[in-house]
Chain A
Amino acid sequence: MPADTRVMLPVDQHLALTQQLYCEARLLDGERYADWLDLLAEDVRYQLPLTSRRFRADRSAALAVGPGYVFDDDKARLELRIQRLESGLVWAEDPRNSARRIVSNVEIYQVETDREAQVYSVVDIHRSRIDAQQRRLTAARTDRWRCEGGVWRLVSRLIQFDHPVVIDSNLNVFF
């Protein structure tokens, strides 16, 4: 859909959804995972596909069974990841590390589907883990949010990760 034909949400809804994105970032930064799960629709799909760097003119055949996903999670699998993080037995997260998510470049459009919105954003995650070690992970996100009883919930998130090599010793983070 060309940008000029996109329909914006009414301003109050636009504002509410933007605030929701910032709130989500704050919940994740604070490791408030139960509250984050509440923001997700029951049928949520959360994906980060693997990619490779190819020449623009590359004529290779597609991979037989697909590229694979770093994350390809439904709600049950996200709960599983969170159970691990909250088990008290993940030593890499103890002491607690700090992560700060900066969410930017937010665009919100109405979609045909009743009560849903397409949301584009960029997330810039600053991780501070051991001593002076700093890691910065960036990604573009293409989201679908749905308004359920006046509450916006995340239905799908496709993460476009910017790093061909993951530049950290784990990805115990959500994007």
Chain B
Amino acid sequence: MTDHAGLVSAAGAVQRRQIYADPAVYEQELERIFGRCWLFLVHESQIPQPGDFFRTFMGEDDVLVVRQKDGSIKAFLNTCTHRGNRLCRADRGNARAFACNYHGWAFGTDGALVNVPLEKDAYFNEIDKTRFGLVEVDQVASYKGLVFGCFDKNAPSLSEYLGDMKWYLDVWLDAQPGGTALIGETQKVELMTNWKLPVENVCGDGYHLGWAHAGAMKAVQSMDFSGFTVGNASVDLEGGLSIAGLNGHSLLATVDGVSGYSFYPDNAGILRYLEQNRPTAIERLGRQRGEKLWGSQLNLTVFPNLQFLPGLNWFRVYHPKGPGRIEQWSWAMVENAMPDDIKQRILDNQLLTFGPAGLFDNDDGDNLAACTEQSSGWRTRQIDVHTNMALGRSGPRPGFPGDIAVGVVSEHNQRYFYRRWQEHMAARNWRQVPQYNLNPLAGDEALADAG
């Protein structure tokens, strides 16, 4: 076990580069973060029918998520219980059963072993098939369409795990009747980066936008980047918040109610959708969220590796594949209440901006890879990296849970991300993991609405 006390400073403002490259640190992450936290599996919209399955990963563990005959969802390790072969090689689809390629053991969609070839001739009918069902993921639960799995029986419930972040998640997941969906096929990209770097890039790093994406911002003049200038010459901090201190979850939020969709070229249709449906959002969420957050650009992060961005409408999970490699999986996300032409436009725009050939996404991969590589040299790895921007400038804000810094250009959220990372890495079990939802709402929302 690595001593983690020195890897992240107490305030979370300094990280040792070792944490991005050290195989021992990575092994411990697989156990204490990916083996312990609730991890995103699938959106319910992706497996609507009985027998629908989706193949994904929890850490490096290959997992098969299957819709059951009764409509519930189960998740299994994607491995034959006989000799360990990968059971399912398809990405997704619909199946009545899964037969192993190797010896033909077949499992029902409920994970039960239903057929063993030569059961009579070679096993002499002595095999107890009930002992060899697929290994189930210990806990599976949904939150408003998002299905999560957890390998730790002693983990808090998904609802407790998400804590006050649910209040923010609802801005997307529950603003309109009918909920949300992920659309299009999975967009998979291999990046030679440590998994923590894309998470922190999106959870708190508004700083890179004007510089790293300068080429795209200059070319895409139809998009409105209010508050940012190409080349990072200046930034307007008004109108944005960095929100963290929620069990390691966080968000960046603009609070003007329209700025997210103003990134779209030809955005009249979607702005009209917001205008027409905002009364419903206010009715369901209250004025604070319905007016200020619904429709705004939000960067939502559920610790450890799930991020989704209402406004740019991408939904993304990072699967670790070793200390210096990930698979980044993305989809476009929509509200089911949206008309089909808006859904199609969102899918198209998400792919244009943050797809595998996205005008913005194609700026990030090399930066993340180089930050990882520059953590592996013997001398280089002994130095630190810094997230000390606007340190000590956060606090409560009436009506919003969390510890909040003004502006989306800040390193406030990264500090909380690394604090949470260290808490998990140091804890031997869930009892040692602190739970904190700073400045919980209590009755503040009514107060803010009245004000």
* Interface, chain A (partner B; CB < 8 A): 48, 50-55, 58-61, 63-72, 77, 80-81, 83-85, 87-92, 129-130, 164-172
Per DSSP, are chain B's interface residues mostly helix, strand or loop, or mixed? mixed
B193 CB → nearest A CB, Å: 8
Which residues of chain A come closer than 8 Å to B218, judged between CB atoms?
A: 83-84, 87, 89
Q: Mark B37-79, 1 if CB is under 8 A from A, else 0.
A: 0000000000011001000000000000000000000000000
A-contact 0/1 string along B214-229, CB 8 Å cutoff = 1110111000000000
In the complex, the answer to whether B95 meets A91 with C-beta atoms within 8 Å is no
> B243 in the interface, Cβ–Cβ < 8 Å?
no
Which of chain B's residues has its CB closest to A171's CB? B357
B366, A68: Cβ atoms under 8 Å? no
CB pair B188–A164 under 8 Å, yes or no, is yes
Going nearest first, the 7 A-B pairs with the smallest beta carbon separation are A169-B365, A68-B184, A170-B362, A89-B215, A171-B357, A84-B219, A90-B215
Asked if B288 CB lies within 8 Å of chain A CBs, one says no
A167 to B327 CA separation, bound complex (whole angstroms): 9
Residues of chain A lying within 8 A (CB to CB) of residue B186: 50, 52
Q: Using Cβ atoms and an 8 Å threshold, which residues of chain B touch A92?
A: 362-363, 365-367
Stretch at the interface among B146-154, B292-300, B342-350: B342-350
Residue pairs across A and B with Cβ atoms less than 8 A apart, 7 shown, are: A50-B186, A50-B351, A67-B185, A80-B359, A85-B215, A92-B365, A170-B362
A54 to chain B: closest CB distance in Å?
5
Assess the A65–B344 pair: CB atoms within 8 A. yes
User: Which residues of B lie under 8 Å from residue A72 when comparing CB positions?
Assistant: 348, 351
Across the interface, do A70 and B356 meet the contact criterion of CB distance under 8 Å? yes
Could you give, for residues 330-364 of chain B, a 1 whenever the CB lies within 8 Å of some chain A CB and a 0 otherwise? 00100000001001100110111001110101110
A120–B351 Cα distance when bound, in Å, is 26
Question: Knowing A65-B347, A89-B215 touch, does A164 contact B93 (C-beta < 8 A)?
Answer: no
> Any chain A CB within 8 A of the CB of B233?
no
- The size class of the interface chain B forms with chain A is 35 or more
Besides A55-B93, A66-B344, A80-B220, 19 other A-B contacts (C-beta < 8 A): A48-B357, A59-B94, A64-B183, A64-B343, A68-B183, A68-B350, A72-B348, A77-B352, A80-B359, A83-B219, A84-B218, A84-B220, A85-B215, A92-B366, A129-B366, A169-B191, A169-B369, A170-B366, A172-B357
B49, B90, B344, B367, most chain A CB atoms within 10 A: B90
Q: How many A-B residue pairs have CB under 8 A?
A: 144
Q: What is the CA–CA distance of A169 and B372 in the complex, to the nearest angstrom? A: 13
Cβ-defined contact, B93 with A60, below 8 A? yes
Interface: B387 (CB within 8 A):
no
CA distance A69 to B351 in the complex (A): 7
| B110 → A minimal CB distance (Å) | 19
Residue B235, interface by CB 8 Å? no
- Tell me, yes or no, whether B83 is within 8 Å of chain A by CB: no
Other-chain residue from B93, B189, B332 in contact with A68 (beta carbon distance below 8 A): B332
- B368 nearest in chain A by CB position: A169
Q: Chain A: interface secondary structure?
A: loop
Q: Could you tell me which B residues sit within 8 Å of A by CB distance? A: 48-49, 52, 89-95, 181, 183-192, 212, 214-216, 218-220, 230-231, 327, 332, 340, 343-344, 347-348, 350-352, 355-357, 359, 361-363, 365-370
Determine the distance from Cα of A165 to Cα of B190 in the docked complex, in whole angstroms: 6
Report whether B359 and A81 are in contact in the complex, using a CB–CB cutoff of 8 Å.
Answer: yes
Contact residues in B for A167 (Cβ distance below 8 Å): 190
Complex contact B356–A166 (CB within 8 A): yes
Please determine whether B362 and A172 come into contact, CB atoms closer than 8 angstroms. yes
Q: How far is the CA of A92 from the CA of B211 in the complex (A)?
A: 12
Complex contacts, A48 vs chain B, CB 8 Å = 357
Chain A: CB-nearest residue to B352: A77
Choose one: B89, B190, B192; the contact of A53 (CB below 8 Å): B89
Also in contact, A166 and B190, with CB within 8 A (given A66-B344, A77-B352): yes
Cβ contact within 8 Å between A91 and B219: no
Provide the residues of chain A in CB contact with B90, threshold 8 Å: 52-55, 58
Q: In the docked arrangement, what's the CA distance between A172 and B365, Å? A: 11
> Which residue of chain B has its CB nearest to the CB of A167?
B190
> Hey, which chain B residues are within 8 Å of A55, CB to CB?
90, 93, 95
A70-B351 contact given A53-B89, A89-B218, CB 8 Å threshold: yes
| Pairwise interchain contact B230-A89, C-beta atoms closer than 8 A | yes
Chain B residues in 8 Å Cβ range of A69: 348, 351
